[in-house]
Chains A and B, each alone.
Chain A
Amino acid sequence: MPKATQYKTNSVIYFQGDVGDKIFILKAGKILSKSTDIETKEEINELVAPGEFFGVKSALGRYPRDESVMVLADSEVLLFTVPEFEQLVLSNTRIIMKMLKVFSNQLRRMHGKVQNLIGKGQSKDSESGLYSIGEYYFTNRQYKSAVHALTRYLTLYPAGKYAVEASGLARKAGQGLSRTDSTALFAAAAQEMDDEPDFSPPSPAPVAAPVVGSADPVAAKGFFEAVALANQEKYLDAFKIFQKLVSTNADPEHAAKAEFEMGRCLVHLKKFDEAIKHLTALIQKYPKHPDLKDALFFIGRSYQGKNDRTWARNFFNKILNLAHEDEPVAVKTRKALKELDGSQE
């Protein structure tokens, strides 16, 4: 149980530099906290407000007291041990939140002061900083990291001052990665943002990697029948027909469409890794595919299916950058993002 203690005028509760494990609340009276500004060495005098905690950080963090606390007029103080304090705040979580905010603020200010001292202060804005990280990893041939950083750059600053350089580097970094690496597709996504009109696409993507069984004698059935099957949620059957159409090049007119539909089927079949691989190859093969945004959406869905929220969010955000607000793909993307942010899966 916390202990109520009386302090007389002019007494000292603790001195700066003392080691103590108690936490205090001023119930009534007048108490002064005296500390030294770490930069200017000026003395800081602050009155403790009634109901206010003091001695929290040093007790919780187990380090010497930062300030001296003096009693200006007879006061009543509640004394907590650390376990007692924990018990109190665990049943009143608003206190924890309030303190977290205060501490977080102090931490950031302190961090800023240290950074200034070692000369790494605000010399870089976030935009240039993020781009330079991508550049660093690219230069050091850490392509996976390069693609990650550059893609984040392009997602955050699609029209940024380094957008053209970033998409160029991301593309090259993507080529440096193995094609099977799912992160390579970010380079493909970056291509789409490239302003240079005469950019030649990377080496042709492999024809879709078939993963779900082999094709049945379904070649006779056409593209639209397969679409109909997919609409009836017969995704495996539909997938086989699309796969056949693509591999035999039986219907060149609908080849690109069929490849996209294969990806969509894979997502519905919950073959998320295969879907990501397939759609990656698709985007690389057809950078201007009419269903590009939907392809990105299904890649996002696949990551969501894999419970990889960060990457799912990356893709969804990318779609929102590309699409008009009222396009159907934007509407379903916003819905998907809301799902991600909410607590449901």
Chain B
Amino acid sequence: MKVSLFIPCFIDQFYPQVGISIVQILERLGCEVDYPEGQTCCGQPPFNSGCWDEARSIAEHSLDVFAESEVIVSASGSCGAMMKVFYPELFKGTTRHFDALKLSQKIHEFSDFLVNHLGVRDVGARFDGTATFHDGCHGLRELGIESQPRELLKHVRGLTVVEMKEAKTCCGFGGTFAVKFPSISTAMGEVKCASLLETGANIVVSNDSSCLMQIQGLLDRQGKKIQCLHLAEILART
């Protein structure tokens, strides 16, 4: 199967290892991986700030970049949700609405793609440690991804997975919300950190690097020796 990767801008710049891991896993599973060049941002920052015209101009660029792709795998649940759920709304009543609907059907979040489209649960990974999974809200509630990453983690050799009480509670990132309302965002992050610390896990796994940026940022500041890793970084280890 030929698969196009969507590596959102902040993963490209800050967490390239996530993208590299996804390439390794998909190739190991026999996919032909393609990275349409010229991809940048999904447009979520202006979209969430109410600047829909600016968001639309970025989104149009994405529609062009991925026009030839047959299947797209997103490294982020949040940016994936932007394309899958919000692009059709953003382009409603414009000449690109149909293109947005087409893109929406083609794009899948990484863990959902592995489990529901490739039918894989065991990718042959090995990772020693104790992990707890954090659900990114967009992946969980916009895309309905809940069991997929947990299924994949269950099959990682050497890994113990402990569920945290507040797994489905927002980490407080929320894009520009994190800097527009820093005290609220931090308080929400503190609740998340307290819950994950309770599990005794030494690794926090998520399918969204943006949440992990928030969680790791707080844990580092608290001096906690806990590592945040994207699901793909766990699954790529053998």
Q: Say whether A and B bind each other.
A: no
